[in-house]
A and B are shown apart, each in its own frame.
Chain A
Amino acid sequence: MTGETQAPLLRISALTKRFGGFTALDNVSVDIPAGERFGLIGPNGSGKTTLINCISGAFRTEPGTVTFRDEDITRLQPHVRTRRGIARSFQIPRPFRSMTVAENLMVALDFAAATDDVVSAIDRRDTMMSILTRMGLASKANVSATKLSQVELRKMELARAMATHPKLLISDEAMAGLSSSEVDEVLDLLMSLAGQDITIIMIEHIMQAVMRFSDRVMCLEAGKIIAIGTPNEVMANQRVQEAYLGT
């Protein structure tokens, strides 16, 4: 698509999130343009997952606004945001355990993808199979979600997110706990998705993956942005090194 407006796909303005007396996010503002591969890093507890919970709608924010495709979505429920085009995976995979892999994707196709146009059941099956094939899960279509390996679960979460037909995909540590060859596999998948006009926010602890993947990296510490820029700039930043390695 070339006719995009100049406004960023996602704009986060002055976002603050408190849990009781604890400030998990402190006045965070960032713009993410369409098509960007955005890496989000930071030590444990720095607010990465809180930030994406605020973007996907699991948490309400006060104060601060989230604007997606020129629309203020701060007050929208998560399922409405999903239909607007924000999809996510979870840090700890959350499959629908009573369903097969195919059925997991059908939930997304039933509820999120078919809002624009009426799609027939056969078309939806085709869409589902093509997503599964792209994710390398076609042979697992009729397998129960409880029978999947860790890497397959990660891929299924991404596949389910893809089935919602997202404009923005948030991958929350999709590579945690995977072997290095599996990390490459998932990274390649994310790269290929990014090539298809999907903006991706990737949260990751595996630095090589973040460095390889990202156009731009943001580092959070204690709910504040301490660095933002190209991967090399951020890695060279004194405060980032301190945050990760300690002083």
Chain B
Amino acid sequence: MKRSGIYFWTGAALFLGAALLMTQVIGNQYPFFAGYVILQFIVLAVAWSILGGYAGYVNFGTAAFFGMGVYTAVFLFKAFGAPLPVQIAAAAAVGALMGFALGLLTLRMQGIFFSIATIAATIIIETAITNWRYVGGAAGIQLQRPAVTAPFDNYVEMLFFVQAMLVVLAVAVSRYIQRSWMGRGLQALKDDELAAECTGVPTLRLKLMACVISGALLCAAGAPAAMYLQYADPASAFNLNYSVSTLAMSLIGGTAHWAGPVIGAIVLGTTQQLLTVTISSEVNVLVLGVMLVLFVVAAPEGIIGLVRKIRRKRNEGEG
């Protein structure tokens, strides 16, 4: 294994260790409630940027995948009393299928047309779920959490740790893609699809693969949300806020490197949590909008791009 790989996996192990330690040491529930949301957004942002960042296909349908994750969990729990890992795994499978179907239908469209199609898909799926009585329909559905598994003594703590594992999974996948032939192919087709095709890159297949992987992770991130809230309703599960926040976090962090969405999600997610507590949950949407505008104007490549630029300037200064 290369040195960067050792660093990465050591970091991942430390992160998981710290998350586990937190659940054992901290008694107050609030950090887990807030932390869960931030971790969830890290997974969403990282998953989103596999298609939206590497391939440059801006997906406005994060909410569609997230909501499907929520409702896959709801359905499996109600029908079979399925345990959490099964809910998540099934959600990932559903997300992969959905990504495949959506990709097949829409990835031939380029640029803004793809984005519009993903919004349409969100609305269609939300409407379908709203009209499905078994999972609660428009009124939503209450869920009773099952008993918590050791070593956790609280369900939210457990969900916090599960989401932390999903973060590691999503980041590992994204990092692998970025560094592999697939990442290079996606970067090429993002720059120029025809040139990529004529250089041997199977552009449609790569886009589909990115859409499937991204979809699976987005959906998996949504699955634990049903148990987290103990309630699900279509209007909040398919809320456009998920799409906008995820996109903003990825873009603000920077999509050229796997760490970008992680940084963006931590920065924005934490800000949002702080604002929700100190001012109001409405203000955080405003702040999100303002930050997005600021970044698009001042740092279109996101935080990652900004750091690279500064580093390059410094190197040139020394040279």
Q: Which residues of A contact B (CB under 8 A)?
A: 56-58, 77-80, 82-83, 87-88, 90, 94-99, 103, 106-108, 110-113, 160-161, 164
Q: Does B4 contact A (CB under 8 A)?
A: no
Q: How far is the CA of A108 from the CA of B184 in the complex (A)?
A: 10
Given contacts A79-B200, A79-B202, contact A110 B185 (CB under 8 A): yes
Given A96-B187, A107-B184, A82-B194 contact (CB < 8 Å): no
In the complex where A90-B195, A110-B181, A111-B181 touch, is A96 in contact with B200 (Cβ < 8 A)? Answer: no
| Contact call A98/B187, Cβ cutoff below 8 A | yes
Pick the 4 closest A-B CB pairs, nearest first: A112-B200, A111-B200, A94-B195, A96-B191
Contact A82 B184, beta carbon cutoff 8 Å: no
Q: Is B199 an interface residue (CB 8 A)?
A: yes
With both chains docked as a complex, state the minimum distance between the C-beta of A98 and any C-beta of chain B, in angstroms.
Answer: 5
Please determine whether A94 and B185 come into contact, CB atoms closer than 8 angstroms. no
When the two chains form their complex, are residues A94 and B194 in contact, meaning their CB atoms are under 8 A apart?
yes
Closest chain B CB from A112 CB (angstroms): 3
Which of under 10, 10 to 19, 20 to 34, or 35 or more describes the interface residues of B? Answer: 20 to 34
The reply to whether B198 and A78 contact each other, CB–CB distance below 8 Å, is yes
Residue of B nearest to A96 (CB): B191
Interface string of B19-48 (1 = CB under 8 A from A): 000000000000000000000000000000
Q: Is the interface of B mostly helix, strand, loop or mixed?
A: helix
Are A111 and B194 in touch, CB under 8 angstroms?
A: no
Tell me the chain B residues, 117-164 only, with Cβ under 8 Å from chain A: none
Which chain A residues lie closer than 8 Å to B195 at the CB level? 90, 94-96
Q: Is the CB of B201 within 8 A of A98?
A: no
Residues of B within 8 A of A79 (CB): 196-203
Residues from chain A with a CB closer than 8 A to the CB of B192 are 94-97
Chain B residues lying within 8 Å of A108, measured Cβ to Cβ, are 199-200
A170 to chain B, nearest CB (A): 10
B204 closest partner in A (C-beta) = A77
Give the docked Cα–Cα distance between A108 and B188 (Å): 10
Assess the B187–A82 pair: CB atoms within 8 A: no
Is B175 engaged at the interface, CB distance under 8 Å to the other chain? Answer: no
Contact: A112 with B199, CB < 8 Å?
A: yes
Decide: A160 and B199 in contact? CB cutoff 8 A. yes
CA distance A87 to B194 in the complex (A): 12
A158 to B318, CA, bound (A): 35
Contact between chains at A111 and B201 (CB < 8 Å):
yes
> Cβ of A82 and Cβ of B198 under 8 Å apart?
yes
Whether the pair B196, A107 counts as a contact (CB closer than 8 A) is: yes
Contact of A110 among B184, B204, B256 (CB under 8 A): B184
Contacts of B198 in A (CB 8 A): 56-58, 78-79, 82, 87-88, 90
In the complex with contacts A79-B202, A107-B199, A110-B181, A96-B188 CB distance below 8 A: yes
For B256, list chain A residues within 8 Å (CB): 98
**Which residues of chain A are near B184, meaning CB under 8 Å?**
103, 106-107, 110
Distance from B209 Cβ to chain A, minimum over Cβ atoms (Å): 13
- Given A90-B195, A106-B184, A107-B184: A82 and B200 within 8 A (CB)? yes
- B191 lies within 8 A of A82 (CB): no
Interface string of B168-197 (1 = CB under 8 A from A): 000000000000010011011011101111
B202→A107 contact, CB < 8 A: no
26 sampled A-B residue pairs with Cβ under 8 A: A57-B197, A77-B197, A78-B194, A79-B196, A79-B197, A79-B199, A79-B202, A79-B203, A82-B197, A82-B198, A83-B200, A95-B192, A96-B192, A96-B196, A97-B191, A98-B190, A98-B191, A103-B184, A106-B184, A107-B184, A107-B185, A107-B201, A110-B185, A111-B185, A111-B199, A164-B199
